[in-house]
């Protein structure tokens, strides 16, 4: 009997040791995956940065001497300026687990209000410009009120207001464009964001600094406005109570309400701020094209969503950053520009951007599954 007991005890010890061995192996495996997930969750811009660097390396090899030229990088920055500003507005909405399909329509409507009020109706630009900003703010406010008060999905609400704002755009503009010459005569301030800056000349003449690496770079004040908008919204999201409320509302609105956060007021503020940013994008758009066109920015809605998603912001809300959106806009610009310089047709540029969107959403869902 004692021999059987001893054998059973030894067997149990052996099984226990084996279980501990397997358990420790499983913990090590899960620990690595968890650490990777935690890193990506904590630094959502890490993957976009890696993709951007890979793209730069690939296209510098595919188009040597062209892609890395300072003027080409300047061109990319100018091309993504408007998308990046709209992307900042879209980031605010998506952080709250919503989506705004009307950002492009708000931008065009605000540009028409600014330009047509100043040029056609002769209103001083000191009044016309604020009217355009108020127009964007009001459009965003309408979106926020409908979403919160009627409890409707943001997708449906902004799909409807996209049509409404588009109709108002056609009505107020009468489908007429405003030429650059007319804008220059009546309201040159509205074209200010398109003014060219040469950093090398600025630093050499103003400060006496001979920074050779700046030769060939050409920027516009619109790009400076983009950076200032991004910096301001980054500060709001990361350094203010309102920013923390935005993340909390997007992550878990019920928990946010239990914590004492007025989620309705937060959402209304987010949509209003997004509309105001779209109006700033309208100002930059006027500087970019020199005039006002009610047909401009047809793909602005999808382009802004693309920049946000590729930049690592979760479509389910609660996770993302402004820096990631800027990087996402740069990725789109780099890939489109690099593929064009490589001699590929436009359809392959759209193909590449589509692949990037699917990969970005797939990675986001993978991170969320591990979090759950």
Q: What digits encode the pLDDT tens for the residues 37-61?
A: 667 666 767 788 888 898 899 889 8
Note the pLDDT of residue 171. Answer: 94
Q: Look at residue 15 in the predicted model and tell me its pLDDT.
A: 45
Residue 102 near residue 166, CB atoms below 8 Å: no
Q: What is the pLDDT of residue 21?
A: 45
Give the integer Cα–Cα distance in Å for 198 and 360. 35
Q: How far apart are CA 265 and CA 256, in angstroms?
A: 12
Per-residue pLDDT reduced to its tens digit, 146-178: 999 999 999 999 999 999 999 999 999 998 899
Q: Give the separation between CA 360 and CA 313, rounded to whole angstroms.
A: 9
198 burial (CB, 10 Å; 0-12 / 13-18 / 19+) is: middle
Residue 200 CA: distances (Å) to CA of 61, 76, 81:
27, 18, 21
**Nearest-10 crossing angle of helices 346-371, 46-62:** 150
Residues of the chain with pLDDT under 70: 1-33, 36-38, 40-42, 44, 368-372
The predicted structure's pLDDT at residue 1: 47
Q: Give the integer Cα–Cα distance in Å for 116 and 171.
A: 12
Residue 146, CA distances (Å) to 40, 149, 160, 370 in order: 34, 5, 11, 34
Task: Please give the Cα distance from 103 to 87 (Å, whole number).
Answer: 9
Buried b (16+ CB within 10 A) or exposed e, 123-138: bebeebbeebbbbbbb
């Amino acid at each position: 009997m004692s021999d059987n007991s001893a054998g059973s005890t030894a067997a149990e010890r052996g099984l226990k040791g084996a279980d501990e061995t397997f358990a420790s192996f499983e913990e090590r495996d899960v620990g690595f995956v968890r650490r990777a997930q935690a890193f990506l969750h904590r630094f959502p811009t890490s993957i976009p940065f890696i993709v951007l660097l890979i793209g730069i390396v690939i296209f510098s090899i595919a188009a040597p001497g062209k892609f890395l030229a300072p003027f080409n990088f300047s061109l990319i920055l100018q091309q993504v300026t408007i998308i990046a500003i709209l992307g900042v507005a879209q980031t605010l909405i998506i952080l709250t687990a919503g989506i705004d399909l009307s950002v492009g329509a708000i931008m065009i409507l605000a540009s028409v209000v600014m330009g047509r009020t100043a040029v056609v109706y002769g209103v001083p630009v000191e009044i016309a410009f604020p009217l355009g900003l108020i127009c964007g703010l009001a459009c965003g406010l309408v979106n926020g009120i409908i979403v919160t008060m009627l409890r409707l999905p943001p997708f449906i609400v902004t799909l409807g207001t996209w049509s409404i704002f588009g109709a108002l755009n056609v009505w107020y503009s009468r489908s007429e464009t405003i030429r650059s010459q007319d804008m220059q005569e009546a309201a040159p301030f509205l074209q200010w964001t398109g003014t060219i800056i040469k950093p090398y000349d600025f630093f050499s003449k103003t400060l006496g600094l001979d920074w050779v690496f700046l030769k060939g770079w050409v920027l516009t004040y619109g790009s400076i406005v983009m950076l200032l908008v991004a910096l301001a919204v980054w500060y709001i999201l990361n350094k203010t109570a309102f920013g923390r409320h935005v993340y909390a509302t997007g992550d878990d609105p019920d928990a946010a309400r239990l914590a004492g956060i007025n989620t309705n007021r937060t959402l209304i503020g987010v949509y209003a701020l997004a509309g105001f940013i779209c109006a700033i994008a309208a100002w930059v758009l006027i500087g970019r094209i020199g005039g006002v066109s009610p047909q401009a920015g047809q793909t602005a809605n999808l382009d802004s969503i693309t920049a946000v998603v590729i930049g690592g912001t979760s479509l389910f809300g609660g996770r993302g950053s402004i820096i990631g959106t800027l990087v996402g806009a740069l990725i789109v610009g780099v890939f489109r520009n690099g593929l064009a310089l490589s001699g590929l047709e436009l359809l392959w540029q759209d193909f590449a951007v589509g692949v990037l969107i699917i990969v970005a959403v797939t990675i986001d869902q993978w991170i969320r599954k591990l979090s759950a």
